[in-house]
Amino acid sequence: MTITHMKFLLFTRDKCSACADTKKKLAFISEQFGPLEIEEHDIGTLDGLALGAFHDVHVAPVVVALRDNLVVWRCDGVVPRSHDILQLIDGGAMVARDSTGIANDCKGSHNPKTGQNPENMEKGQRNRK
């Protein structure tokens, strides 16, 4: 596989097991299929929070794929599928996305329009009852 002008932004936070799993997955793919340009940003830091705000990041992990500095794919709140990442780096094939631009399998725990995590909202509501 040939990787051309691709960069992955990985937004993480402390004590996030899905973040650690996503980081390991990207590192494994980079080792097996050629070096990926991966920038990790901790949204618990001021710099990570600022860049995260620019990319509309409200949960972790978030993977944003850039080609020629344009967002071509993102995965919010879950560990992305290896197949989707491999499609992106193999000739630029696109994965299935909905109208928000988020990969169909990557939006289970994040509402991209409100930036809220429905699971946390439900937990909060349960705690109030």
**What is the rounded average pLDDT of the residues 112-126?**
38
Please report, as a single letter, which amino acid is at residue 42. D
What domains can be seen in the chain, in order of their start residue?
Answer: 6-128 (3.40.30.10)
Question: What value does the mean pLDDT take over residues 26-48?
Answer: 95
SS3 2: coil
* Rounded mean pLDDT, 94-121: 46
Residue 32: how many CB atoms within 10 A of its CB?
A: 10
* Residue with token string 């699971």: 119
The CA distances from residue 9 to 39, 47, 105, 120, in Å, are 5, 13, 18, 24
How far is 18 from 90, CA to CA, in rounded Å? 25
pTM (predicted TM-score): 0.72
pLDDT on residue 3: 44
pLDDT at residue number 104: 53
Tell me how far apart the terminal alpha carbons of the chain are, to the nearest angstrom. 53
pLDDT of residue 127: 35
For the chain, give the mean pLDDT.
78
* Cβ(87)–Cβ(93) below 8 Å: yes
- Give CA–CA dist 77/99, Å, rounded: 18
Q: Render pLDDT for 45-95 as a digit per residue (tens, 0 to 9).
A: 999 999 999 999 999 999 999 998 899 999 999 999 999 999 988 865 444
pLDDT at position 90 is: 80
Residue 12 has pLDDT above 60, yes or no: yes
Least confident range of 4-8, 9-13, 24-28, 82-86: 4-8
Give the pLDDT confidence score for residue 103 in this predicted structure.
57
